[in-house]
Amino acid sequence: MNTTNWVSSIPKIIQPINKLIPERIINFGSEQLLNRLFKEEIISGDLDFISERVVEIKVKDIDLSLFLTLKGNQLKALNNPTNADVQLSADGDALLLLIYGKVDPDTLFFNRKLMVKGNTELGLHLKNFLDTIEVNQKLPKALFLIGDRFSDFIYKEKGETIQIS
């Protein structure tokens, strides 16, 4: 199996595992992690734009959606929301490249690898917020290095399909 096929097969491995994990456990873990990672941004008000709104982050290739809102000084992952004010969706590889700064969100957006549906203004705030995350300062060094190397690998293998310049 060549490396491009291997990278493309990762979602096929993750998706069935994802389906075995109850939504409430995924939401609880995501909520805990995101509140720790973005503690400073929550306190400083950088995430106030999602207060009383519902944001859906959808990882298309593993069929995972996370519905988030800000209540008080806590990010909350919602179970069974009625609908989201905005949906930001992409395949996992594109999101990983975005998070690790290998490609900017505008490149993904204009190449239709990052989709925004719903409240456009809210979507732009979210996209711009994601672009400002300095993941190397948020994650433990070992985890950052693993993700950074993996995103380098994805960039080399799939960059032409994402049309990164």
Flag whether the pTM goes above 0.85.
no
Backbone region of residue 118 per phi and psi (left: phi > 0; alpha: psi in -120 to 50; beta: other values): left
Q: What is the mean pLDDT of residues 18-34?
A: 88
The yes-or-no verdict on residue 150 having pLDDT over 90 is: no
Q: What is the mean pLDDT of residues 62-91?
A: 91
| pLDDT value, residue 165 | 44
Residues 105-146 pLDDT 10s: 888 888 888 899 999 899 988 888 888 888 888 888 898 888
Enumerate domains of the chain plus CATH numbers. Answer: 3-158 (3.30.1050.10)
Q: Of all helices (H) and strands (E), which one includes residue 88?
A: strand 86-90
Q: Which residues sit opposite 114 in a β-bridge?
A: 90
Find out whether 91 and 11 touch, Cβ atoms under 8 Å: yes
- 133 vs 128: CA distance, rounded Å: 9
- 92 vs 158: CA distance, rounded Å: 12
160 or 141, which is more confident? 141
- 106 vs 129: CA distance, rounded Å: 12
Q: Which residues sit opposite 65 in a β-bridge?
A: 58
